[in-house]
Amino acid sequence: MRLGVPKETAPDERRVALVPETVGRLPEGVEVVVEAGAGESASFGDDAYRSAGAAIGDPWAADVVAKVAWPSSTEVPRFRSGQALIGFLGGSGAETLPALAEAAVHAFALESIPRITRAQPIDALSSQATVAGYKAVLLAADRLPRFFPMLTTAAGTIAPAKVLVIGAGVAGLQAIATARRLGAVVSAFDVRPAVAEQVRSLGATFLDLGVEGEETEGGYARELTPEQQAAQQDALQQRIPQFDVLVTTAAIPGRPAPKLVTEAAVRAMPPGAVIVDLAAETGGNCELTQRGSEVVEGGVTIVGFTNVPSLMPTHASQLLSRNVAALVALLVRDGELKPDWDDEIVAGSCVTREAVVA
């Protein structure tokens, strides 16, 4: 069986779906064909792939094509019946589903991997959220005109930065840990009360805003009622002026990001404060976030970059590559592409199969 790895074509995509290290970890009988230069922007050269045992060539003829971003409308016609595709379905990816289904392509969306314990090695949402949470804090530290740690110097003592992380899921917990390592005093809030203990175990304070949401069976938050959301905005507005940095990660799967930080709350922050809005992709948690860019409003810098994992492409690709390899292992039997459709992970992540659109 051949696994093809094309060069990503989206303008802001620097990751690659498979790195040289993973080539040798694939199931026996899987040969890898990488497009020339596919790993370059993530610091993996063609020679490194060759040394790992991959061939440099045309990836589109392979039995399985592994991509980071879903194929564009110009890439979709390159697929043939029976071929498999692995990638993130995000953005306008859903628009290509009818064409992929028509072509009888077995397409597996990385966002749709069921979040069950057995699927953890394949959980690409988590691996990339880990990168995003870490990088968000570095982006904030870079923009903040203050130190993160407390410093005692001959010229006097500097107070540590105060950081608030809103949404303490995978990205938020990584942001808390990173801000703590840099020496900031960190607080966090999430509507899922179960998270409070995890927040405290990282040395941060869990804010009690008097708002408690529900958790779904999959561990996600349920959307708040409009009344609860208004109460949360009010409670946050009282607290936000005390912080130098906000990292917001709050999300509800399949829904626009909840608006938690109002314009008035931003205006009440100290001059030089920084907000990094990791929910920018789905509309942003802050009312003033501009999707894909960085703006300064009343002296407060608001970073609304999308695709933050791509800003740290080497390790983001390395983790993603291990996720992809673990999924490939479920699609291959005896060196051939034979997905086990009874497997909950295979069936759950498959978004097109033969002429059926999921």
Which of the 8 DSSP states describes residue 182?
Answer: T
Q: Which of residues 129-158 bind ligand NAD (CB under 6 A)?
A: 129
Whose Cβ is closer to ligand NAD: residue 272's or residue 283's?
283
Q: Provide the mask over 17-56, with x wherever binding to ligand NAD is found by CB under 6 A and - wherever it is not.
A: ----------------------------------------
Minimum CB separation of residue 9 from ligand NAD in Å reads 26
Kind of pairing, strands 64-69 and 55-56?
Answer: unpaired
Nearer to ligand NAD, 196 or 357 (CB): 196
Which of the ranges 20-28, 31-39, 134-142, 219-227 carries the binding residues for ligand NAD, by CB under 6 A?
219-227
- Nearer to ligand NAD among residue 83 and residue 127 (C-beta): 127
**Residue 356, C-beta contacts closer than 8 angstroms, at least 6 positions apart:** 101
Contact 335, 28 (CB under 8 A): yes
Q: Name the minimum Å distance from CB 46 to ligand NAD.
A: 34
DSSP tag of 176: H
Q: How far apart are the C-alpha atoms of 77 and 85, rounded to whole Å?
A: 13
Burial of 311 (0-12, 13-18, 19+ CB in 10 A): middle
CB atoms within 10 A of CB 357: 14
| Helix, strand, coil percentages in the chain from 3-state DSSP, rounded to 5 | 35, 20, 40
250 binds ligand NAD (CB under 6 A): yes
Residue 129 or 320: the one with the smaller Cβ distance to ligand NAD is 129
Determine if 319 is a binding residue for ligand NAD (CB under 6 A).
no
Based on the shown chain and the rule CB under 6 A, indicate whether residue 249 belongs to the binding site for ligand NAD: yes
d(CA 48, CA 52): 6
202 binds ligand NAD (CB under 6 A): no
C-alpha–C-alpha distance, residues 65 and 16, integer Å: 12
AA letter at 198: Q
CB of 158 to ligand NAD, least distance (A): 30
Segment contacting ligand NAD by CB under 6 A, of 103-111, 190-198, 294-302, 306-314: 190-198
Task: Verify binding: residue 192, ligand NAD, rule CB under 6 A.
Answer: yes
Looking at 32-40, 82-90, 125-133, 154-162, which segment touches ligand NAD (CB under 6 A)? 125-133
Chain-centre distance for alpha carbon 167: 14
- DSSP 8-state secondary structure symbol assigned to residue 294: E
Give the catalytic positions in this structure. 115, 120, 123, 126, 220
CA–CA gap between residue 246 and residue 239 (Å, rounded): 11
Footprint of ligand NAD (CB under 6 A): 115, 117, 119-120, 123, 125-126, 129, 166-172, 189-192, 219-221, 224, 232, 249-253, 258, 260
